[in-house]
Structure 1
């Protein structure tokens, strides 16, 4: 009997300490966790998951851009030249569609720009919105779409686009300055952008 009492005494006297010691969670030290540190993130798995996520985030935009593909890059540059050097917007639209990457934000934006320059504002809007769906922070699309808004007489919407540009790249970037300059012109002024 005495032996039984002696053998059960450590279990009765020390279970809280044993449970705390086994609870682990690493890093201990009174962070105010009412549940003890057993709800902390285990040290070995957290950095591995974080690194995996970071690597994934870095790779995704790179793959999504398409510019690592020489054929895409060359085709995009040719379409870009067709737009900005030759002002042949209809041909550029065909060149951009031929790339097979209509949902790539740079491509969709240039298609929208080309339609705007051709005076097809409905199609232009579709493509600007498609570019922003692909990349909500595509600053050049916010700029071009803001100019579209001004041309449509939607100065309040253009002001919203200007605000979005400021949030993305600040007030010193070219996209902000050109849209701000366009907004300063009197309504009905022909824009050259």
Structure 2
């Protein structure tokens, strides 16, 4: 049942992508539906991240060998300021090395960039790991307001939806991920795998 719903979500997302590609190929002056204007984190002329000499940090995934040095994630907003990047990296390590979510929230807020999607997403993640789902939702929404195509937020927020029992919403998040980076990206695979698990199963992220 869930697998067939995921397939339908994926087919729908690809159909929408094909339709938008066909429209773009036909030229025309830019008004009309879908997608909005240029994204401020967009080095490729579409909705991806801003170019930078500093690679954005990216949460590790169990069982994968790709590192943030060798694989740039889909649509993760870059962190160009060295001091900001160093502070963010310290908070990142506090989360993923020490699992000290309360301290990480303080570190992230101290950066003074609450509206940066990477920062807001990790604050939301930290609140979620502390069990504060209300605050977690506030920060996930803040991340998506800053960058509606921030694929990692769609994944983490989709897991939030699953933990709240909102499977239909999680499927919608899966469709957004498919539209942004396809079905081969790690964000899609992770959320799709979580959707296949029985309700109530403990989730890694």
Question: So what's the TM-score if we normalise by structure 1?
Answer: 0.67
> C-alpha separation between the residues in 2 aligned to 1:170 and 1:113?
23
- The 2-side partners of 1:88 and 1:80 are apart by 10
Q: Distance in 2 between matches of 1:173 and 1:69?
A: 27
Q: Which 4+ residue blocks in structure 1 deviate beyond 2 angstroms?
A: 60-63
Number of residue pairs matched by the alignment:
137
Q: Tell me the residue number matched to 1:114.
A: 126
Q: Does 1:69 align with 2:69?
A: no
Is 2:186 aligned against 1:169? no
Is residue 96 from structure 1 mapped to residue 115 from structure 2 by the alignment? no
What is the rounded CA distance, in whole Å, between the counterparts of 2:169 and 2:139 in structure 1? 17
1:148 is matched with 160
Q: Which runs of 5+ in 2 are unaligned?
A: 1-37, 44-48, 53-76
Provide the rounded CA distance (Å) in 2 between the counterparts of 1:68 and 1:130: 20
Deviation at 1:69, TM superposition (A): 1.1
Q: 2:171 aligns with which of 159, 177, 183?
A: 159
- The two structures have a TM-score, normalised by structure 2, of 0.63
Q: Distance in 2 between matches of 1:192 and 1:129?
A: 21
**Contact 1:66–1:72 (8 Å) recurs in 2:** no
**1:63-116 deviation per Cα after TM superposition (whole angstroms, max 9, x unaligned):** 8x5722111000000000000110000000000001000000000000000000
CA distance in structure 1 between the aligned counterparts of 2:183 and 2:150, rounded to whole angstroms:
15
Q: Distance in 1 between matches of 2:143 and 2:81?
A: 20
Q: How far apart, in 2, do the equivalents of 1:114 and 1:160 lie? A: 23
Q: Select the structure with the greater relative contact order (CA < 8 A; seq sep ≥ 6).
A: 2
Counterpart position of 1:132: 144
Return the offset for 1:62.
5.0
Task: Name the structure where helix makes up a greater proportion of residues.
Answer: 1
Q: Secondary structure at the match of 2:174?
A: helix
Root mean square deviation of aligned Cα: 2.0
